[in-house]
C-alpha cells in the first residue's frame, strides 16, 4: 500500500544523496520529538501526590496521641509495680500480727497453766487446814469446851501439877487459835488463787481469739493480695502488648525493655537508699562520739556515777562474729525454699522463722516475731554491720512497733531473706524502703 510518506521518501531517493540526508535528519528529528513527548508524558504520570495540610496535621496528631498513650501506659506500669510492692508489705504486716498473736497465746497459755497449778495447790492447803479445824471441832465436842482453862484453878492438885495443867491449856488454846487462823488464811489464799487462775484463763481465751482473728486477717490479706497480683500482672501483660503495638516493636522486646527500666529504677532507688543509710550511720556515729565525749566531761549538775549517751541499745548481744557467720552459712543452705507466713522450717519459712532458725544453729534463741527480735537484740548502727546481724523493715522507721520484716545480713550489702508469699528464700540487696536505722545483733 502506497502512502504519502512512502511516495515522498521514494521521490527524495530519486533526487540523490543530498535529498537522502534531508530524509535522515527529518526522521531523527521526528524520533527525538516522539521521545521528548513520551518523556513529558512519563514525567507527568510519575509526579507524587503530595498530602494536604489537613493530612499532615492529622498525622502529627496521631504521633502525639501515640506518644501520650505510651507515656500513660508506662506510668501505669510504674504504678502497678509500686502497688505490687505495697501488697507484699501488707501481707508481711498481717503475717507479723499473726506471729505476735501466736507468741502471746503461748505466753498466756503458760501463765494460765501456772495459775491453775497454784490455785490447785492453794485449794489443797485450804482443804488440809479445813480438816484440821474439823478435827479440832470433833475433839472439842467429845471432850467438852471446859471452862476455858479455869478448871485448873479449882482443882485440888498441888502447885506443880496446877502449873503443868495451865501450861497445857495455854498450849492447846494456842494450837486451836493457830489452826483456825491457818484455815482462814488458806481459804483467803485459795480464793485469791482461784480468781487469778480464772483471770489467766480469760486472758488465754482472749489471746486465742486474737490469734484466730490475726490468722483470718493474714489469710484474707494473702488471698486478696494474690487476686490483685494476678489482676495487675494481667494488666501489665496487656499494657506491654499495647506498647509494643504503638511502638511497632515485638512484645518480647517491649517486655525486656520494661524489665530493664524496672531494674534501672530499682538500682537508682537502691543507690539513693544506700546513700541515705550511710549518711544516717555517719550521723549516728558522730552523735555517739559526741555523747561519749560529753559523758567524760564533769557535770556539776549530775551524779558522777551516772551517764547516758541517748543511744538505742535495745536488748543484749550473745552471739560472736563467728556465730553470726555460722548463722549466715546455714541460712544460705535454705535458698530456694518457699515462703509461708507463720512457718519456721524445715521446708518453708516466714521472715522471722528463717532468722530464728539460723541463729538457733549458732546457739542463740530468738522469738518468732520480727518486732520481738528487734526488742531482744543489741542495736547497732548500719555503719557497723557484720554478717549475722539482723536487718529490720517497718512502715514507719521511727516506730519499732511497725516493723514487719527481718532478714539476716550476709555482707557486701546483701542479705538472706524469706521475702513474701509466692517467693522463695533468696539473697537480695539490703537497701530498700522502710529500712530501720539500727540493725539487731543477737
Which of the four pLDDT bands, split at 50, 70 and 90, describes residue 39? very low
* Bridge partners (DSSP) listed for residue 377: 316
Would you state the pLDDT for residue 75? 72
Would you state the pLDDT for residue 22? 45
**Does residue 426 surpass a pLDDT of 90?**
yes
**Does residue 305 surpass a pLDDT of 50?**
no
Better pLDDT: 409 or 296: 409
DSSP 389: -
Better pLDDT: 14 or 248: 248
Would you state the pLDDT for residue 140? 63
Which of the four pLDDT bands, split at 50, 70 and 90, describes residue 442? very high
Tens-digit pLDDT profile for residues 77-135:
677 777 777 888 888 888 898 998 999 898 899 998 988 888 888 788 777 767 766 66
The pTM assigned to this predicted structure is 0.60
- The span from the CA of 77 to the CA of 82, in Å, is 9
Instruction: Report helix, strand or coil for 37.
Output: helix
Average pLDDT of span 299-307: 46
Better pLDDT: 214 or 165: 214
Angle between helices 321-332 and 351-360 (to 10 degrees): 130
Average pLDDT of span 156-180: 57
Would you state the pLDDT for residue 88? 83
Tens-digit pLDDT profile for residues 365-388:
999 999 999 999 999 988 889 999
- The span from the CA of 120 to the CA of 190, in Å, is 8
**Does residue 331 surpass a pLDDT of 90?**
yes
Instruction: Report helix, strand or coil for 158.
Output: coil
Mean predicted lDDT score pLDDT of the chain: 75
Would you state the pLDDT for residue 45? 46
Would you state the pLDDT for residue 355? 97
**Minimum mean pLDDT among 17-26, 116-125, 344-353: which range?**
17-26
Would you state the pLDDT for residue 73? 64
Angle at 158 between CA 156 and CA 159, to 5 degrees: 125
Average pLDDT of span 282-304: 67
Better pLDDT: 42 or 271: 271
- The span from the CA of 165 to the CA of 366, in Å, is 68
Would you state the pLDDT for residue 176? 63
- Domains of the chain with CATH codes: 60-246 (1.10.287), 314-441 (3.90.1720.10)
- The span from the CA of 64 to the CA of 166, in Å, is 119
| Pairing between β-strand 338-339 and β-strand 414-417 as defined by DSSP bridges | unpaired
- The span from the CA of 186 to the CA of 180, in Å, is 10
Cell digits of residue 126: 485450804
Which of the four pLDDT bands, split at 50, 70 and 90, describes residue 230? confident
**Does residue 70 surpass a pLDDT of 70?**
no
Amino acid at each position: 500500500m502506497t502512502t504519502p510518506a512512502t511516495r515522498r521518501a521514494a521521490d527524495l531517493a530519486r533526487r540523490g544523496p543530498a535529498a537522502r540526508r534531508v530524509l535522515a535528519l527529518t526522521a531523527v528529528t521526528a524520533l527525538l520529538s516522539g521521545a521528548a513527548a513520551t518523556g513529558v508524558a512519563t514525567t507527568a504520570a510519575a509526579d507524587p501526590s503530595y498530602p494536604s495540610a489537613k493530612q499532615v496535621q492529622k498525622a502529627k496528631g496521631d504521633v502525639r496521641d501515640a506518644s501520650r498513650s505510651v507515656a500513660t501506659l508506662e506510668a501505669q506500669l510504674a504504678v502497678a509495680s509500686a502497688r505490687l510492692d505495697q501488697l507484699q508489705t501488707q501481707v508481711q504486716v498481717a503475717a507479723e500480727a499473726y506471729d505476735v498473736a501466736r507468741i502471746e497465746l503461748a505466753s498466756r497459755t503458760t501463765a494460765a497453766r501456772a495459775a491453775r497449778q497454784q490455785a490447785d495447790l492453794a485449794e489443797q492447803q485450804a482443804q488440809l487446814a479445813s480438816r484440821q479445824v474439823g478435827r479440832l471441832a470433833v475433839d472439842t465436842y467429845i471432850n467438852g469446851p471446859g471452862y476455858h482453862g479455869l478448871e485448873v484453878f479449882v482443882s485440888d492438885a498441888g502447885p506443880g501439877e496446877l502449873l503443868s495443867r495451865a501450861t497445857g491449856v495455854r498450849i492447846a488454846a494456842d494450837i486451836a487459835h493457830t489452826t483456825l487462823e491457818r484455815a482462814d488464811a488458806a481459804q483467803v489464799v485459795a480464793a485469791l488463787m482461784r480468781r487469778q487462775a480464772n483471770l489467766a484463763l480469760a486472758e488465754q481465751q482472749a489471746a486465742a481469739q486474737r490469734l484466730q482473728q490475726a490468722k483470718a486477717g493474714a489469710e484474707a490479706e494473702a488471698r486478696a493480695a494474690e487476686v490483685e497480683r494476678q489482676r495487675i500482672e494481667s494488666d501489665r501483660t496487656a499494657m506491654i502488648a499495647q506498647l509494643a503495638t504503638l511502638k511497632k516493636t515485638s512484645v518480647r522486646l517491649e517486655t525486656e525493655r520494661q524489665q530493664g527500666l524496672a531494674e534501672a529504677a530499682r538500682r537508682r532507688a537502691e543507690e539513693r537508699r544506700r546513700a541515705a543509710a550511710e549518711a544516717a550511720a555517719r550521723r549516728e556515729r558522730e552523735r555517739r562520739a559526741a555523747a561519749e565525749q560529753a559523758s567524760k566531761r564533769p557535770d556539776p549538775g549530775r551524779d558522777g556515777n551516772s551517764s547516758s549517751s541517748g543511744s538505742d541499745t535495745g536488748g543484749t548481744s550473745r552471739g560472736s562474729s563467728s556465730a553470726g557467720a555460722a548463722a549466715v552459712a546455714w541460712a544460705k543452705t535454705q535458698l530456694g525454699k518457699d515462703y509461708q507466713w507463720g512457718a519456721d522450717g524445715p521446708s518453708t519459712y516466714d521472715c522471722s522463722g528463717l532468722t530464728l532458725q539460723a541463729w538457733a544453729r549458732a546457739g542463740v534463741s530468738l522469738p518468732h516475731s520480727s518486732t520481738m527480735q528487734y526488742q531482744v537484740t543489741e542495736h547497732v548502727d548500719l555503719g557497723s554491720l557484720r554478717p549475722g546481724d539482723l536487718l529490720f523493715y517497718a512502715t514507719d522507721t521511727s516506730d519499732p512497733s511497725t516493723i514487719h520484716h527481718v532478714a539476716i545480713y550476709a555482707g557486701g550489702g546483701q542479705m538472706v531473706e524469706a521475702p513474701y508469699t509466692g517467693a522463695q528464700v533468696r539473697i537480695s540487696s539490703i537497701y530498700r524502703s522502710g529500712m530501720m536505722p539500727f540493725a539487731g545483733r543477737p
